[in-house]
Amino acid sequence: GENVEQHPSTLSVQEGDSAVIKCTYSDSASNYFPWYKQELGKRPQLIIDIRSNVGEKKDQRIAVTLNKTAKHFSLHITETQPEDSAVYFCAASMTGNQFYFGTGTSLTVIP
């Protein structure tokens, strides 16, 4: 089955700096890659996703890039704010199949 690895497990940045979280996947058939944000005590919420026919997608301060050849995708958060502090999960799936999640990155934005 698919295996998703996520790095780093913890990340601290100064407010206003950028944060980058990277994930790799093993199954070249995976074609959908969502990112979830989970604040303490809350449910995971989808913040951005990308499909395999697209190389990059942006939504205001967040962006995701996908390199199908290398089988890795990354989440980029620019101009970080304290409210960006949370655990971020990447995932990979093939349409119609289950989701495989990374182990999460705990992001702390220091004011």
- 104 is a contact residue toward other proteins (CB under 8 A): yes
Among residues 45, 55, 61, 82, which is the contact residue for other proteins, using CB under 8 A? Answer: 45
State which residue, 15 or 51, has the beta carbon closest to other proteins.
51
The DSSP letter of residue 78 is: -
Helix (H) / strand (E) element for 85: namely none
Please, what is the minimum distance in Å from the beta carbon of residue 56 to other proteins? Answer: 18
Whole-angstrom Cα distance, residue 84 to residue 80?
Answer: 6
Half-sphere exposure of 31 (CA within 13 A, CB side): 6
Among residues 21, 23, 25, 44, which is the contact residue for other proteins, using CB under 8 A? Answer: 44
